Structures are given as structure tokens and as C-alpha cells.
Amino acid sequence: MLMAPLRALRSLHSLRLAPVLGLAHFGHLLALLMAALLWTFADLGEAKPWAHIRWMDVAGEGGMVLMAAIWLVQLRSSRPAGRVTSLLCLGLGAMLLGEWIDVLDEVWQLPKAMVWDNWLESALVPLGMLVLTVGLQHWREEQLALNDQLLKRERLFREHRSLDRITQLGDAVYMSTQIELEQRRSRPAALLMLGLQGFDSVAREQGLAEADRLLQAASHLLLLNLRPQDLLCRYAADRFCVLLPGGDAADAAAAAEHLRLALSGLAHHGREGARTQLPGLAAWAVVTAQAPAQQQLLDLAQRLRP
């Protein structure tokens, strides 16, 4: 029972936490402030009799402190350092301190003459909320900028479990869900399947790492050659698939030929100096309403086999 929280604390050490306002030890600073407040209350205040302590309040306010601390760790471990992170963390930190004073207030009675604790208590939480709100607004702007970068890699919704680790594109499952969306709304769409002839010998001759880099290069090249509304996913191995929303047979044939030529023109230079240029492969089809999306992709991939 006791070991679980201890182990959780120890695993905190291996988390990489983003610095706040350049301070790597923001968490320690907060803890220090909390300790200082605790000491001040214990020193100046008068402990309330056991029976007068309202335990429900202590539990509620203590829970808030704990949750704010957890949110801080989650935030700092998942975000890069920067303005948005600093604002969000400062807001959460202020709220945490305000709630901490609330908790201490339940246990110790400060002399009536002292008003600073009331000031802190009523100012810190709203101030923290304000800073947090400003931070969230900046986060929104940041996300809009990031969405621009993710254009052609995702559309309509995000699914991080469907992300391919090598190319950072969606995988076959993500693509079939997208095709199903188009099918359900009975909108016209076309599919392309692209590949590199002889890709499997790259890993044998130059190593897996080089083959992966070639895939990354090919994915960048394809992204550059697509329209903003198109979606590129990695199907499997060196096979990429593209969804052209609203595309008809003529669009698909033209796009397939264009991308095939682009792939054929890609010269990849390996770290060992090897130059790899492989002929591109392309096939296209118009999305039909009847066949399941996965089957349409599978059939298209088979047409690419020599």
C-alpha cells in the first residue's frame, strides 16, 4: 500500500519537466513557498482545538492542492518550455498556493490583527485563474499555428494511437476511418497508392535506419506536392496512400502520375554516401460507396505489386 505512492514519486525523477520562466526547479520553489507558509502559520498562529477543525473543508481544499500539483506535473512533462507553458504553470502555481493557505487556515487561527493571510487567500486564487485563462488563450493560438503545420497529415479529428512513428503520418486505420467518413456522407473522393520499386533491398544493403530516412524523405516530398485539403497516410512499408476529397477519376489519374514522377525524381543521399534513386509506383481508384474502406485500400495496394 505504502509502496505505490513512493514508487510514483520516484518515477517523477525520470520525467523530464519543462522549466517555467527559465526556472528548472519551479516545483521545488513552490514546495519551499508552501513550507514557508506552513512555518509562518505554525509560528504566528494558534492551533485550533481538534473538535473545531472542519475536516470536510480540509479534505476538499487539500484535494484541490493535490490536483493542482498533479496538473502542474502533467503540464510540465507534456509541453515544451515557452511562454504558453510558463503562463499556464504560473496560473496553476498561484491557485495551488491560494488553496494551500485555505488549508492552513482551517488548522491554525492567525491573530485578528493580521490581514495579510486574508489578502493572499482571496487574491491568489482569482489571480491564478486569470493567468491560467490568458495562458489558455495563447495555447489556442499556438494550436492553430500547429494545425497549419499538420495540414495534409490529419483532417477533421486527431488520433494519436494511429500515428506512424517513423513518418509521423497517420496509418492505414486512420485512412480507412477517413474514407468511411466520406462514404457515410456520400461525397465523391479518390484514393491514390504510392510506393518505391525495390525499396525492400534498401534495408538489406544500407541498413534499416537508412531505409527509415528514405521513407521520411519520401513523405516530406509527397506532402509538398499535395493540395491543402488532401490527406497523406503511411499504409505499410514503403506504401503511402492519399485521400483526395472531392476528386474524380481525371483528378486521381493526374495526381497519381504527378506524384509518381516526383517520387522517381527523389534522390536520397545516405549517411554513408550512398545515393538511392528508385522508380516510383502509383495506382489510383475512385472511392466507391459499397466496398469496405479497408478492402478498397488493400485492393489498391495489390495493384502496386509488380
Residues that bind another protein (CB under 8 A): 164-165, 171-173, 176, 200-201, 203-204, 207-209, 212, 235-237, 239, 294, 297-299, 301-302, 305-306
CA distance 242 to 170: 11
Contact assessment for residue 75 and residue 26, using Cβ atoms and an 8 Å cutoff: no
139 vs 273: CA distance, rounded Å: 42
Closest distance of CB 167 from another protein, Å: 12
Shortest Cβ distance from residue 209 to another protein (Å)?
Answer: 5
Measured from the CB atom, the residue of 97 and 196 that comes closer to another protein is: 196
Least separation in angstroms between residue 229's CB and another protein is 23
Q: Which CB sits closer to another protein, 36 or 236?
A: 236
Contact 226, 194 (CB under 8 A): no
Residue showing cell 514508487: 7
Q: What angle do CA 180, 229, 243 make, to 5 degrees?
A: 40
Please identify which residue in the block is written with the cell numbers 497508392.
193
Are 28 and 69 in contact by the 8 Å Cβ rule? The answer is no
- Which residue, 110 or 237, has its beta carbon nearer to another protein? 237
Cell digits for 65?
492542492
Longest dimension (CA), the chain: 88
Residue 122 or 302 having the CB closest to another protein: 302
User: Closer to another protein at the Cβ: 76 or 268?
Assistant: 268
Q: How far is the CB of 182 from another protein (least distance, A)?
A: 18
Nearer to another protein by Cβ, of 172 and 231: the residue is 172
Give the torsion sign (CA, 70, 71, 72, 77): positive
Looking at the Cβ atoms of 131 and 282, the one nearer to another protein is 282
Taking the complex as a whole, how short is the minimal distance between the CB of residue 77 and another protein, in angstroms? 19
Closest CA to 263 of 196, 193, 166: 196
Q: What are the grid coordinates assigned to 205, written together?
A: 544493403
Across the strands, what pairs with 275? 269
Nearest approach, Cβ of residue 280 and another protein (Å): 16
HSE-CB of 24 using CA atoms within 13 angstroms: 3
> Cell 504527378 appears where?
258
Closest to another protein by CB, 275 or 305: 305
